[in-house]
Amino acid sequence: MLKEKLSSLPLQPGCYLMKDSKGEIIYIGKAKKLKARLNQYFTGAHEGKTQKMVSLIEDFDFYVTNTEKEALVLEINLIKQYRPRYNIMFMDDKSYPYIKITSDDYPQLIVVRDKKKDKKAKYFGPFTDTGAARDTVKLLNDLYPIRKCKTMPKKVCLYYHIGQCLGPCQFDIGKEQYASMIDEISRFLKGDNKAQLNRLHKEMDEAIGVLAYEKAAKIRDMIRSIEHISQKQQVQFGEQMQQDVFAYAISKNILSITGFFVRDGKLIQKTSIVQPTVETAGDAFASYLIQFYSDMPKPKELLVPDEVDVDLLSEILNMPVVAPQRGDKFKLVQMAQNNAREQLSLKFKMIEKSEMFGDVATKQLSDLLKVSTLSRIELFDNSHISGSFLVAGMVVFTDGKPNRSQYRRYRLSGGNNDVGSMKEVLYRRLQRMLREDGEKPDLIIVDGGLPQLGAAKEIIESLHLDIPYIALAKDSKHQTDSILLSSEEEVKLLPGEPLTMFLSTMQDEVHRFAVTYHRLLRQKASTRSILDEIDGIGEKRKKELLKHFGSLKAIKEADEQQLSEVVGRPTAIAMIQFFRDLKEGEQE
């Protein structure tokens, strides 16, 4: 059937969709000539991910387009729609954050991901690390008494009383004074921090002069924060360049892409991605850039290596795309290429320890179970303390690697019965799969030995499913040493073998995932049981307290002045009295 379809394909541009035995689309590609490109998959030898993908192809479909540009755009849209497992979904529907200075009369600083909504606002970035963007906003909000509220209230709030806002909502604040602060903030975000550092050094010296050492220490910490943030902006270029720079390296079907963001002549951020690909390097690189700029603001100019089809990319992206041949721009592209090669080299070192290890382990397991494929493996584990906050975790490994987007956590009922809990989580997972026609696992693993194996058997058979299942059993030292097959036959695991290490890695992952959820519930319950009993503490103030102090213990140990900075003096007094009464009650 495949040979007949291949022989009848047209020599025209278009897209093709590869399908497996279940009819699932596993890969989408584009071609200048469909017939020539698809025939390449079924002739000659392949390696790595391409070989594995080709072995699964049972059928294909295709779309004919008028031009290569149309094929490339259609390919991206189809990939977003179907998300085939052998395609690289680079962006995963996410975009990088920016720091925004709003366009209000009294602007505020916020972190945003969409730069398109407010054309009058000022944007700085992008930041590849959301935490870095938020830390920068927090630092600037601490340094300058600018507006913090999303909507202007009628009266001043807590920020005014602690000196972190001038109170433009209630008082007549001069626009020039406010504009001067915004101008300093803008210069800081462009990399010029001299004004802030000079002012803070002067304030620190004054605090030391009057023996206000605590205040001086806080100012010192601010200076260190500014210096830490500014370290990322030390690479500078002669002219005030405003470009994005992307380059790539590929070897053994592993693609590495590195991007630099240059603003006002400074290299402010870097992004990298390394993934296996079945596409040619040029096609995968173009696909990445189209996905990237579908959600990201476009720079004044995009710099790429010489081998890229700049005319096609420029037409699709609707912005200038340049492959420089000399000068600073050429050096930037070279630097990006060198970084991509370094990332690729690091990836190969990791592959030797992990990806090949996962392939070998899953092959050993499929041979043991006598099944043809083990693409999707699900492992389940429970977590509780004396029956409280009973939870379960499910981790998913796809093609030998953790697929964290598919992880699931469950809040369970059923008291302290581990077997009953395993039945519950398996039933909920499999029943939902049937109800929503979800993806079926190739193997289910339960952690806990023979009783859990029986739980898996009961649930799988009651739902009339044909899914292989095994259990992991431990020795007297609580170390996993064997597999229990569905027939209850025990297979000993050999120390140091890839399969033993692979199953151990999966166990550690599901245990970590379940325990993390359990701790989260315990922490929420612990916080709720105490803070919610204090008059004047609602959900908003509770979050502010925990964010400011970091833990319930730190809140209890805080004095009246420290608490007043967050909740105001009356509530702070009430909190001090509550904790004092609580302590006296415990002593009695």
Name, in order, each residue with C-beta under 8 angstroms of 452's C-beta and a sequence gap of 6 or more: 418, 419, 422, 446, 471
- Are 24 and 53 in contact, with CB atoms under 8 Å apart? no
CA 456-458-460 angle, 5° bins: 65
The three-state secondary structure class of 379 is strand
Q: How many whole angstroms separate alpha carbon 379 and alpha carbon 393?
A: 8
Please state, in angstroms and rounded to a whole number, the distance separating the CA atoms of residues 506 and 472. 11
Cα(103)–Cα(71) distance, integer angstroms: 40
Tell me which range, 94-108, 167-181, 238-252, 305-319, is most confidently predicted by mean pLDDT.
Answer: 305-319
- Cα separation, 254 vs 267, in Å, equals 26
- DSSP-based three-state secondary structure for 247: strand
SS3 category, 407: coil
Q: How far is CA 585 from CA 475, 504, 555, 580, in A?
A: 46, 47, 19, 9
Out of 220-224, 520-524, 541-545, least confident range: 520-524
- DSSP, res 441: P
**Res 469: pLDDT:** 95
| Mean pLDDT value across the chain | 82
Residue 299, preceding peptide bond in cis (omega within 30° of 0) = no
At residue 49, does pLDDT exceed 90?
no
- Mean pLDDT, to the nearest integer, of 191-209? 78
Q: Is it the case that residue 403 has pLDDT exceeding 70? A: yes
| pLDDT value at residue 386 | 47
CB-count exposure of residue 474 (10 Å: 0-12, 13-18, 19+): middle
Dihedrals φ, ψ of 401, to 5°? -125, 145
The answer to whether 477 and 470 are in contact (CB under 8 A) is no
The rounded distance, in Å, linking the Cα atoms of 159 and 156 is: 8
Identify the band that residue 163 occupies on the pLDDT scale cut at 50, 70 and 90: confident
Report residue 53 as tokens.
């993908």
pLDDT recorded at residue 588? 43
**Percent of the chain clearing pLDDT 70 (strictly above):** 85
Q: What is the pLDDT of residue 72?
A: 85
Q: CA dist 388 to 413, 519, 520, Å?
A: 10, 11, 13
Domain annotation for the chain: domains and CATH numbers:
2-82 (3.40.1440.10), 98-233 (no CATH), 243-346 (3.30.420.10), 359-505 (3.30.420.340), 532-587 (1.10.150.20)
Most trustworthy range by pLDDT among 168-172, 413-417, 482-486 = 482-486
Cα-only R_g, the chain: 29
Could you tell me the pLDDT band of residue 417, with boundaries at 50, 70 and 90? confident
pLDDT of 384: 64
Q: Which residue has the higher pLDDT, 550 or 332?
A: 332
Distances (CA, A) of 73 to 30, 64, 275, 290: 9, 13, 21, 8
For residues 242 and 300, the answer to whether their CB atoms sit within 8 Å is yes
435-466 tens-digit pLDDT: 998 899 999 999 888 999 999 999 999 999 99
- 183: Cβ contacts below 8 Å, ≥ 6 apart: none
Write a three-state SS string for 27-57.
EEEEECCHHHHHHHHCCCCCCHHHHHHHHHC
- Kindly tell me if the per-residue pLDDT of 347 is higher than 80: no
pLDDT of residue 234: 42
Contact in structure between 69 and 312 (CB atoms under 8 Å): yes
More confident residue, 242 or 298: 298
- How many Å apart are CA 363 and CA 358, to the nearest integer? 8
Model confidence at 372, pLDDT cuts 50, 70, 90, reads confident
Query: Per-residue pLDDT tens for 15-36?
Result: 999 998 888 999 998 888 999 9
466-484 pLDDT, tens digit each: 999 999 988 766 777 889 9
- Per-residue pLDDT reduced to its tens digit, 108-133: 888 887 666 677 888 876 676 677 77
Quick check: 14 pLDDT over 50?
yes
**What percentage of residues in the chain have a pLDDT greater than 90?**
17
pLDDT-derived band of residue 240, with 50, 70 and 90 as boundaries? low
Q: Are 124 and 152 in contact (CB under 8 A)?
A: no
Q: What is the pTM of this model?
A: 0.46
> Does position 343 have pLDDT exceeding 90, yes or no?
no
